Chain A
Amino acid sequence: METETSASLRQALLTDREHTMTRIYQRAFPLVRRYVQQHGGSAQDAQDIFQDAMVIFYEKAVADTFVLSSSVSTLLVGISRNRWRQELDRRARLPLTDLTNQPEPPAETPADEPASVPVLDYLARLGEKCQSLLLDFYYFQQPLDQIAAAHDYGSVRSATVQKFKCLERLRKSVRAAVATLAH
């Protein structure tokens, strides 16, 4: 894994996420746990921080522009150290607040994004198939040919049409809710 290139890592994450994430987790988490525990944190803190780091890492690693300039473990330890330092600063300001009481977005999320929670409820109501198709494409960045094969669509074209149908359903629910709120 240490000689992995950006392209092979991206490919592995896209085609076999569970196995690839497990391999990375197994290798990097003990390093992060040791660091966090040596710097005043608990095993639960280490788990929360590391999982934040994995989310940030995944989003970066599947992007076309990602360049892996160190080993994956080194990268994850670096992200985790930053997150833990931020968490310690936050706790120093709010000493009685627990990490687990905090909202989830990773630290590198732009702070000015509007809240999207109501839309999430409508997404959950779309049904398993539509939800999974939309997440595989828009979040997990899987290519449409892979999605077509995994979801038993006959072709990329048919997967594309289905994707837009699901998006349209989501959009209609949201617009209807917005219209109801406006009246």
Chain B
Amino acid sequence: MRPALDRLQYLEHHLLGRPTPAEAAQWQVQLLTDPNLAADAQTQVQLYQALREAGRQQLRHELRQIHAHLERTTRRRTWLQTATDHLSHLLGRR
């Protein structure tokens, strides 16, 4: 990958992954020596938070669709049930 993408992967490993104790210690040292690391990490955290919020919105949208679908199915089943009950009743009277 390009160096810029490698850097994102490195940040992700420390923010979302499971860095080893040695990697965590190295990260602390790098925070002192790399003037941009803290700001880059902060931006990346912001991106992850936005992605979580967008994911929730997407999931809510899917849930509303599931609800509408189930409601339509139930309404159709109720109508069919009423119709077949009526038919059975008529046939039973013969």
* Chain A residues close to B by CB (< 8 Å): 17-18, 21-22, 25-26, 29, 47, 51, 54-55, 58, 104-106, 113-114, 116-117, 119-120, 122-124, 131, 134-135, 138-140, 160-161, 164-165, 167-168, 170-171, 174-175, 178
Assess whether B70 is in contact with A135, with CB atoms less than 8 Å apart: no
| Also in contact, A164 and B1, with CB within 8 A (given A17-B62, A51-B63) | yes
Assess whether A119 is in contact with B47, with CB atoms less than 8 Å apart: yes
- Cα A55 to Cα B62 in complex, Å, equals 11
B52 at the binding interface (Cβ < 8 Å): yes
B81 at the binding interface (Cβ < 8 Å): no
Residues of chain B within 8 A of A54, CB atoms compared: 59, 63
B29 to chain A, nearest CB (A): 24
B88 to chain A, nearest CB (A): 26
Q: Which residue on A lies nearest to B55, using beta carbons?
A: A139
Residues of chain B within 8 A of A113, CB atoms compared: 49
Q: How many residues on the B side are at the interface (Cβ–Cβ under 8 A)?
A: 29
| Also in contact, A174 and B5, with CB within 8 A (given A25-B63, A116-B53, A123-B54) | no
Residues of chain B within 8 A of A165, CB atoms compared: 5
- Cα A174 to Cα B64 in complex, Å, equals 30
| Also in contact, A139 and B52, with CB within 8 A (given A25-B63, A26-B70) | yes
B46 at the binding interface (Cβ < 8 Å): yes
- Cα A18 to Cα B53 in complex, Å, equals 19
Assess whether A167 is in contact with B8, with CB atoms less than 8 Å apart: yes
Known: A55-B60, A105-B53. 15 other contacts (CB 8 A): A17-B62, A21-B63, A25-B70, A55-B56, A55-B63, A116-B49, A119-B47, A123-B54, A138-B55, A140-B55, A164-B5, A164-B9, A170-B47, A171-B43, A178-B43
